[in-house]
Amino acid sequence: MITINEHYLKLQASYLFSDIARRVTAFQEMNPEKNIIKLGIGDVTRALPQACVEAFHQAVDEMASDTGFRGYGPEQGYDFLRQAIAENDFRARGADISSAEIFISDGAKCDTGNIQELFSQDIIIAIPDPVYPVYLDTNVMAGRTGKYKDGRYEGIVYLEATKENGFVPQLPKQKVDLIYLCFPNNPTGSTISKDELKTWVEYAKENNALILFDAAYEAFIRDESLPRTIYEIEGAKEVAIEFRSFSKSAGFTGTRCAYTVVPKECRAFDKDGNIHHVHDLWNRRHCTKFNGVSYPVQRAAAAVYSESGKQQTAELIRYYLRNADLICKEIKALGYEYDGGENSPYIWIDGKRNSWDFFDLLLNSTGVVCTPGAGFGSCGEGYIRLSAFNSYENVAEAMTRIRRELG
364, pLDDT greater than 90: yes
306, 331, 352 - which closes a domain: 306
CA dist 24 and 142 (Å) reads 31
Q: Are residues 213 and 138 in the same domain?
A: yes
Q: Tens of pLDDT along 280-310?
A: 999 999 999 999 999 999 999 999 999 999 9
Q: Are residues 233 and 325 in the same domain?
A: no
Q: What pLDDT score does 51 carry? A: 98
Mean pLDDT, residues 93-106 taken together: 97
CA dist 122 and 35 (Å) reads 49
CA dist 301 and 281 (Å) reads 26
306, 335, 356 - which closes a domain: 306
Q: What pLDDT score does 204 carry? A: 98
Q: Are residues 115 and 19 in the same domain?
A: no
Q: Are residues 195 and 278 in the same domain?
A: yes
Q: What pTM, to 2 d.p., does this model score?
A: 0.96
Q: What pLDDT score does 407 carry? A: 84
Residue 129 and residue 159 in contact, taking contact as beta carbons nearer than 8 Å: yes
Among residues 128, 206, 213, the alpha carbon closest in space to that of 162 is found at 128
Q: Are residues 296 and 314 in the same domain?
A: no
Mean of pLDDT over the chain: 96
Q: Are residues 388 and 242 in the same domain?
A: no
User: Is residue 222 included in any domain, yes or no?
Assistant: yes
Among residues 186, 193, 263, 239, the alpha carbon closest in space to that of 217 is found at 186
User: Is residue 162 included in any domain, yes or no?
Assistant: yes
14, pLDDT greater than 70: no
Mean pLDDT, residues 172-182 taken together: 97
306, 331, 361 - which closes a domain: 306
CATH of the domain at 13: 3.90.1150.10
Q: Tens of pLDDT along 66-90?
A: 999 999 999 999 999 999 999 999 9
CA dist 147 and 291 (Å) reads 35
- Total number of domains in the chain: 2
User: Is residue 1 included in any domain, yes or no?
Assistant: no
Q: Are residues 217 and 261 in the same domain?
A: yes
Residue 320 and residue 389 in contact, taking contact as beta carbons nearer than 8 Å: yes
Phi, psi of 252 (to 5 degrees): -90, 20
User: Is residue 334 included in any domain, yes or no?
Assistant: yes
Mean pLDDT, residues 112-141 taken together: 97
Residue 256 and residue 107 in contact, taking contact as beta carbons nearer than 8 Å: yes
Q: Tens of pLDDT along 119-129?
A: 999 999 999 99
Q: What pLDDT score does 33 carry? A: 92
Q: Tens of pLDDT along 181-235?
A: 999 999 999 999 999 999 999 999 999 999 999 999 999 999 999 999 999 999 9
Q: Are residues 100 and 199 in the same domain?
A: yes
- CB-based contacts of 266: which residues, under 8 Å, 6+ apart? 210, 237, 238, 239, 240, 241, 277, 278, 279
> Is the dihedral angle over the CA atoms 211, 215, 218, 219 positive or is it negative?
positive
Q: Are residues 242 and 341 in the same domain?
A: no
3-state secondary structure of 390: coil
Q: Are residues 33 and 112 in the same domain?
A: no
> Is the dihedral angle over the CA atoms 375, 380, 382, 388 positive or is it negative?
negative
Q: Are residues 301 and 341 in the same domain?
A: no
3-state secondary structure of 288: helix
The DSSP line for 63-114 is HTSTTT---S--TT--HHHHHHHIIIIIGGGT----GGGEEEES-HHHHHHH
Count other C-beta atoms under 10 Å from residue 379's C-beta: 23
For residue 98, the one-letter residue type is: S
CA dist 237 and 278 (Å) reads 11
User: Is residue 289 included in any domain, yes or no?
Assistant: yes
Residue 335: domain span: 6-47+308-406
User: Is residue 123 included in any domain, yes or no?
Assistant: yes
Q: Are residues 19 and 92 in the same domain?
A: no
Model confidence at 13, pLDDT cuts 50, 70, 90, reads low
Model confidence at 17, pLDDT cuts 50, 70, 90, reads confident
Strand partners, 267: 277
Mean pLDDT, residues 163-183 taken together: 97
Exposed (0-12), middle (13-18) or buried (19+): which is 319, by Cβ within 10 Å? middle
CATH of the domain at 93: 3.40.640.10
The DSSP line for 302-343 is HGGGSHHHHHHHHHHHHHHHHHHHHHHHHHHHTT--EEESSS
